[in-house]
A and B are shown apart, each in its own frame.
Chain A
Amino acid sequence: MRRKRISSRDLRLLVIFIGIVTVVTSGVAYRTLNPPPSEQFFAMWILGFEGLAQNYYPDDNPNLAVGEELNWTLGIYNHMRSIQYVVVRVKVLNSTLVGPDDLTGTPSPITPLYEFTRVLLDNETWSIPFIWNIQNITQRGPMSMLSGLLVNQIPFNGELAMAVSGFNYRLVFELWFYDQTKNDLAFSWREDDSYRSVWTQVWFNATTPSIT
Chain B
Amino acid sequence: MIHLSRNNLRATFLIGFVLAIAVLAGLATPLAKTQTSGDITALSHEAFSQISEVYRVGGQAPELVAKLNAALDLIGQARLRRSQGDETGAAQLEQQARVEILDIMNEVPSAHQKAQRDSATKTFQIIGSIPLVVVLSTCIFYAGLRTWRWYEKTKLFEMRIIEKKKD
Complex CA distance for A211 and B84, rounded to whole angstroms: 27
Decide: B138 and A21 in contact? CB cutoff 8 A: yes
Decide: B138 and A117 in contact? CB cutoff 8 A: no
Q: Which of B44, B52, B127, B141 contacts A180, CB < 8 Å? A: B52
Decide: B149 and A117 in contact? CB cutoff 8 A: no
Chain A 1-27: CB-based contact to B (< 8 A → 1; otherwise 0): 000000000100110011001100110
Give B122-151 interface residues, CB cut-off 8 Å to A: 122-123, 126-127, 129-130, 133-134, 137-138, 141-142, 145, 149
Decide: A22 and B49 in contact? CB cutoff 8 A: no
Q: Which of A14, A22, A82 contacts B145, CB < 8 Å? A: A14
Smallest CB-CB separation from B126: which chain A residue?
A29
Q: Which of B65, B129, B142 contacts A119, CB < 8 Å? A: B65
Decide: B52 and A82 in contact? CB cutoff 8 A: yes
Task: Indicate if A42 sits at the interface (CB-CB under 8 A).
Answer: no
Complex CA distance for A85 and B62, rounded to whole angstroms: 14
Chain A 81-99: CB-based contact to B (< 8 A → 1; otherwise 0): 0110100000000000000
Specify which chain A residues have a CB less than 8 angstroms from the CB of B137 in the assembled complex. Answer: 17, 21
Which applies to chain B's interface (DSSP): helix, strand, loop or mixed? helix
Complex CA distance for A44 and B68, rounded to whole angstroms: 22
Task: Indicate if B116 sits at the interface (CB-CB under 8 A).
Answer: no
Q: Top 10 nearest A-B pairs by Cβ distance?
A: A85-B48, A117-B72, A25-B133, A29-B126, A25-B130, A21-B134, A21-B137, A17-B141, A83-B55, A119-B65
B: which residues have CB within 8 A of A? 44-45, 48-49, 51-52, 55-56, 62, 65, 68-69, 72, 75-76, 79-80, 122-123, 126-127, 129-130, 133-134, 137-138, 141-142, 145, 149
A-B contact pairs, 14 of them (CB 8 A): A17-B141, A18-B134, A21-B134, A21-B137, A25-B129, A25-B134, A29-B126, A29-B127, A29-B129, A115-B76, A119-B48, A122-B55, A154-B80, A178-B45
Q: Can you name 6 extra interface pairs (CB under 8 A) apart from A33-B122, A183-B45?
A: A14-B141, A17-B141, A22-B130, A29-B129, A32-B126, A83-B52
